[in-house]
Amino acid sequence: MSVVKKAAPKNATAKKVAKPPGDADPAAVAAYLRALKHPLKAEIEAVRGIILAVSPAISEGIKWNVPSFRTEKEWFATFNVRSTESVQLIFHLGAKKRADQKALKLADPNGLIKWLGPDRAMITLGAGRDIPANKKAFEAIVRAWIKHV
């Protein structure tokens, strides 16, 4: 028995569903956070929200076994969940080192950045009330960083 498929009418418009870039997967991050047992879980979730609100170009997924963030081009930030004293993220310019990359320079009025190399930095946001106190400075760092990704 053969099955005949009808073609869609020529004037029909297919709805395109926006798909996150690369291997971004917000559902995987949500599942990861539901299962996360961490003393700073609330702060981690707050920082996640801050990052995602900076730009519609930012999406998230699980990369290097932890929640990470990317633009359409590349991954740029990864939570350091081993830290239990303060929320920390590693900012980078993707998984591969770029030969042509010059050292980044960003404004850091709150002293959140610790440079780990010319193209990598650890951002320490603190815990509790530190998160809202550092929000504006952190948003500025994220906006500046994604211009280089």
Domains of the chain by residue range: 26-96+105-146
- pLDDT > 90: percent of the chain: 70
Q: Which residue in 73, 43, 41 sits closest to 55, CA to CA?
A: 73
Distance from the Cα of residue 43 to its chain's centroid: 15
SS3 for 69? strand
Q: Does residue 15 surpass a pLDDT of 50?
A: no
3-state helix, strand and coil shares in percent for the chain, rounded to the nearest 5: 30, 20, 50
Picking from 93, 86, 76, 71, the residue whose alpha carbon sits closest to that of residue 130 is 86
- In words, the CATH class of domain 26-96+105-146 is alpha beta
Q: How many helices (H) and strands (E) does the chain have?
A: 3, 6
Please state, rounded to an integer, the average pLDDT across all residues of the chain. Answer: 86
Tens-place pLDDT, residues 92-118: 997 666 666 677 889 999 999 999 988
Residue 96: per-residue pLDDT: 66
Whole-structure pTM over 0.75, yes or no?
yes
User: Hey, what are 23's tokens?
Assistant: 């291997």
In contact, 70 and 51? CB cutoff 8 Å: no
Q: What is the pLDDT of residue 105?
A: 86
Q: What per-residue confidence (pLDDT) applies to 100?
A: 65
pLDDT over threshold 80, residue 41 = yes
Q: What is the pLDDT of residue 94?
A: 76
